[in-house]
Amino acid sequence: MNHFAIAAVFCVVAAFTLNGADAQSTGNLMCYNCTYTTVLGFEVGEKGCDDAFSATGISKISCDGSCAKRVLEGDIPATMRTCHTALEGECVELNRFEISAGNYISQHCCSGNLCNSAGALAFNLLVAVVAVCGALAVKY
Q: Which is nearer to ligand NAG, 2 or 56 (CB)?
A: 56
Does residue 35 interact with ligand NAG by CB under 6 A? Answer: yes
Does residue 58 interact with ligand NAG by CB under 6 A? Answer: no
Residues 6+ apart with CB under 8 A from 4: 136, 140
- Residue 79-108 contact track with ligand NAG, rule CB under 6 A, x = bound: ---x--------------------------
Cis, bond preceding 5 (omega within 30 deg of 0):
no
Does residue 124 interact with ligand NAG by CB under 6 A? Answer: no
Q: How far does CA 26 lie from the centroid of its chain?
A: 17
Does residue 34 interact with ligand NAG by CB under 6 A? Answer: yes
Q: Which is nearer to ligand NAG, 35 or 103 (CB)?
A: 35
Q: How many other CB atoms are found less than 10 A from the CB of residue 77?
A: 15
Q: Which is nearer to ligand NAG, 61 or 131 (CB)?
A: 61
Does residue 33 interact with ligand NAG by CB under 6 A? Answer: yes
What is the C-alpha separation between 55 and 71, in angstroms, rounded?
17
Q: Which is nearer to ligand NAG, 17 or 62 (CB)?
A: 62
Does residue 68 interact with ligand NAG by CB under 6 A? Answer: no
Footprint on this chain of ligand NAG (rule: CB under 6 A): 33-35, 61, 82
